[in-house]
Structure 1
């Protein structure tokens, strides 16, 4: 009795993701520019307002109490929190490829999540003070 044996190579097919394609707001390029402008103005006002709070707390000695120091630190944390995502979103409004690498996506998620958790901790501390 003869049997034919087929050699099947048992190769593992590794699927690796190198980029994610961001869908965003599906609209015309003119509307993308409008979105860019609105988010850019909002981002700029957020940075300016939080920087003003942090500078005011640092500059005025009367504000060197625990609650104001926490507010100043909270403002700096808010700047970091917003900066972890918004610049990439603004770049994607103007881009035609609208993709993000896996490493960049992971880093952005890490910082966004970390700063978000830190904001929650700051709010808890401020609630008890």
Structure 2
């Protein structure tokens, strides 16, 4: 077998994640800081989503989009942070190719969706500010629901 045949048979099964090069004590400090930040992010976004869902006064397009954006942000953050937290506590900092690809897919899918949601939210505010008399007619419940579902 020549060298070119061997190159075609090599495949990647795992990636080694380098992370922050530091002592184990500093890794625990990083874990604590990121864990607190992650927990606060989840709690804050869940509170926003629950408040929008619970209060009928907040069932307007702006708040419906904001509540759904909060749920999307929970998914976005959860696509990467738990693996990072696990790597802070682990001695073998590796990820399989399939796990890496899956994490990559969800990270960029949720990021892409967040961009759309920010555009929808900007469009909602544009209508409210620049066309206040037509706002309720243009941004009807059907349009808002369609933006949430198809966005």
TM over 0.5: yes
Following superposition, the deviation at residue 15 of structure 1 comes to 1.4
CA pair 52-16 structure 1, distance change in 2 beyond 3 A: same
Separation of aligned partners in 1, 2:2 and 2:87:
49
Deviation string 1:40-63 (CA, Å, 9 cap, x unpaired) is: 000000000000000000000000
Determine which structure has more spread, i.e. the larger CA radius of gyration.
1
Question: Residues 87-106 of structure 1: CA distance to partner in whole angstroms, max 9, x if unpaired?
Answer: 00000000000000000000
Structure number with greater CO (CA < 8 Å, separation at least 6) is 1
- Deviation for aligned residue 1:13: 3.7
Q: Residue 13 of structure 1: SS of its match in structure 2?
A: helix
Q: 1:17-58 deviations in whole A, cap 9, x for unaligned? A: 000000000000000000000000000000000000000000
Q: Could you say what the CA RMSD is over the residues aligned between the two structures, in angstroms?
A: 2.2
Moved over 2 A (4+): 6-13
Determine which structure has the larger helix proportion and give its number. 2
The gaps in structure 1 that reach 5 residues or longer are 1-5
**TM-score, with normalisation over the residues of structure 2?**
0.77
The 2-side partners of 1:106 and 1:73 are apart by: 26
Report how many residues are paired: 123
Normalising by structure 1, we get a TM-score of 0.90
Q: Which runs of 5+ in 2 are unaligned?
A: 124-151
